[in-house]
Structure 1
Amino acid sequence: MVSRTQVLRALLARPGLLVMPGCHDALSARLAEEAGFDSAFMSGFAVSATRLALPDTGLISYGELLEQGRNICGAVSIPIFGDGDTGFGNALNVKRTVEGYARAGFACVMLEDQVAPKRCGHTQGKAVVGRAEAALRIRAAVDAREEGADILIMARTDARATEGLDEAIARCRLFRELGADMTFLEAPESAEEMRRYCGEVEGPKMANLIERGKTPLLPHAELEAMGYKIAVYPLAPLGAAIGAMREVLARIGRGGRPGGTVDFEALKAAVGFPGYYAEDERYR
């Protein structure tokens, strides 16, 4: 039986850009699969927002992210990338995080070099650990993979915001030397910076595309030509959901009909009633 990690390896090996939406729960992941996406990304920002109604400032725990991830991976068949934050502690914590995410069903875990508590990559107040500690985290993650965790390692650096682009690129190159499967230089601020990152770091690279964030929202063809392999829209579904919920709540509050929602049959289909009824009939 082919694992989802093997499926992800094949997706990364084929030509073209791998485009992924963000997901924050089992339903949003299922809708991504239903829409035809080959993979999706569990965003820590989005999980913190929807599970706790709190900002992405290190307030959500390893256990809460893991439980959410287990539900997400269990709802779909496509490979899911999981936000592993800083690894939640020292090298042994990092190994536990990687092993736990692999058991939960993730095909890839993203680990970053921020000081805990971390921050969303496109917000203020970020700080990164020294290069040696950042390397230790990735080394521990790679060790967990080599010791049997069936998962890929995405090494992220937030050093661009605090130490400059040169240091961020140097860290990405180091992470690859240590065995990371792919890298993610967070929040480059221009197309030229993105181009330089792609030109100086080998291996699969991810572009993080956030509306009105720090990084330019470039066309897919241009990202691919630069050398990016993955383009992720981590907050687009969440942003759409917040806008739609506010609108329907305002309509109800004004005494009107909700409007703008799927009908009840479509709602039942989205959460799996047809399949449940068919299976229930089978056992009658």
Structure 2
Amino acid sequence: MAMKLSIPSHDCIISPPMALYSRPHQTHLSATAPASIFTTGSPLQRLVLVSNPSIEAPSRRFTRWGLKTTLAWSGERTSQGDSPSKALRRILESPGIHQGPACYDALSAKLVENAGFEFCFTSGFSVSAARLGLPDVGLISYGEMVDQGHQITQAVSIPVIGDGDNGYGNAMNVKRTVKGFIKAGFAGIILEDQVSPKACGHTRGRKVVSREEAVMRIKAAIDARKESGSDIIIVARTDSCQAMSFDESLWRSRAFADAGADVLFIDALASKEEMKAFCEICPLLPKMANMLEGGGKTPILNPNELEEIGFKIVSYPLSLIGVSIRAMQVNIFSLFFLILVYA
């Protein structure tokens, strides 16, 4: 007897995990649009796949959990002749908290842009997985990241913040990395203080370089920016909270601010109290939050809560790669059994 198999629609748009971003804005789906819910590892990664949606945007402002967030819809987006970095600075200077999913190739970046996000990140984890099929443990090279980044930035008009890992070496390597990211078209670059080879964020066994070398990396990035005549945003990340202590991560963040960093980011903050304490230092500099879908050290908070604590931008690093992997697994599984049934 033939088996009935449910094969996901190939013509589908993957919506973001709304439990993380906020409540969905007004979305009207056709009555015939099929929908499937996939869960990948955690309730936080419950993702809805729908086909042929039409998004109605009656206003540029939408109320999300009581928070008004401005979305730059494709038809309303204007570059004003700005460079990507200037456009990103304008976003950082505007009111509210700003959310950006992490893409990993040109197609995923275009989907982020078409959804109406103001900017996006690249995820080293996702790029390493998509390009090499390998984990984020320092195996992907500077050249591969720059090449992937160039394809991404050329595909979209929104600013892209690139994952520069640990700069791929010492201060001289950091300068080369920053200059390469500038040429690739990135609006910003995230630089961390891990040793080489690095480890993936929120994992055990991470080690960081000395205070002196960590600060030198940020100073080298600032020098590279000046030498290039660029205005690229320097996001200074420290992994010392988990590798050493929370107090150490605060010290390094202050030192990064003194060195000239534009945005501060402490990875793997373990509680709301730590998140609040972090946002209280260097009040003039924006703080970045990293909401690790699927579970990590940092509490998963909605945009309202993050803004109340004091964060300015928030990254969602795993949503796109996670749902892509799951969708491909389901489709491959369905096709495999379809072949068995009709063989």
Q: In the aligned structure 2, how far is the partner of 1:83 from the partner of 1:144?
A: 16
Partner of 1:239: 322
Alignment of 1:64-75 (within 5 A): 64-75=144-155
Q: Give, in angstroms, the shift of residue 122 of structure 1.
A: 1.2
Q: Deviations over 1:47-78 (max 9, x none)?
A: 00000010000000000000000000000000
Letter matched to residue 176 of structure 2: R
Asked whether 1:56 is paired with 2:131, we answer no
Q: Which of residues 199, 210, 219 is equivalent to 2:292? A: 210
Alignment of 1:19-38 (within 5 A): 19-38=99-118
Q: In the aligned structure 1, how far is the partner of 2:159 from the partner of 2:131?
A: 22
Q: Deviations over 1:121-155 (max 9, x none)?
A: 11122100010000000000011112223311000
Q: Which of residues 188, 199, 202 is equivalent to 1:108? A: 188
Partner of 1:268: none
CA contact (8 A) 1:98 1:149 kept: no
CA contact (8 A) 1:188 1:214 kept: yes
Q: In the aligned structure 2, how far is the partner of 1:243 from the partner of 1:86?
A: 29
Partner of 2:54: none
CA contact (8 A) 2:153 2:185 kept: yes
Partner of 2:69: none
Asked whether 1:96 is paired with 2:176, we answer yes
Q: Give, in angstroms, the shift of residue 90 of structure 1.
A: 1.5
Q: Secondary structure at the match of 1:88?
A: coil
Q: Secondary structure at the match of 1:64?
A: helix
Partner of 2:337: 254
Partner of 2:277: 196
Letter matched to residue 250 of structure 1: F
Q: Give, in angstroms, the shift of residue 163 of structure 1.
A: 1.2
Q: In the aligned structure 1, how far is the partner of 2:282 from the partner of 2:301?
A: 19
Partner of 1:152: 233
Asked whether 1:164 is paired with 2:245, we answer yes
Q: Secondary structure at the match of 1:254?
A: helix
Larger radius of gyration: 2
Q: In the aligned structure 2, how far is the partner of 1:28 from the partner of 1:75?
A: 10
Letter matched to residue 34 of structure 1: N
Q: Give, in angstroms, the shift of residue 200 of structure 1.
A: 2.1
Partner of 1:181: 262
Letter matched to residue 105 of structure 2: D
Q: Secondary structure at the match of 1:22?
A: strand
User: How does the TM-score come out when normalised to structure 2?
Assistant: 0.74
Partner of 1:225: 308
Moved segments of 4+, more than 2 Å: none
Q: In the aligned structure 2, how far is the partner of 1:238 from the partner of 1:57?
A: 17
CA contact (8 A) 2:208 2:240 kept: yes
Q: Structure 2, unaligned stretches of length 5 or more?
A: 1-80
Q: In the aligned structure 2, how far is the partner of 1:201 from the partner of 1:215?
A: 21
Q: In the aligned structure 2, how far is the partner of 1:201 from the partner of 1:188?
A: 17
Partner of 1:6: 86
CA contact (8 A) 2:205 2:243 kept: no
Alignment of 1:114-125 (within 5 A): 114-125=194-205
Identity %: 53
Q: Structure 1, unaligned stretches of length 5 or more?
A: 257-284
CA contact (8 A) 2:235 2:263 kept: yes
Higher strand share: 2
When structure 1 is superposed on structure 2, of 135-144 and 199-208 the one drifting more is: 199-208
Q: Deviations over 1:243-284 (max 9, x none)?
A: 11111111111117xxxxxxxxxxxxxxxxxxxxxxxxxxxx
Q: In the aligned structure 2, how far is the partner of 1:2 from the partner of 1:191?
A: 36
Q: In the aligned structure 1, how far is the partner of 2:230 from the partner of 2:313?
A: 22
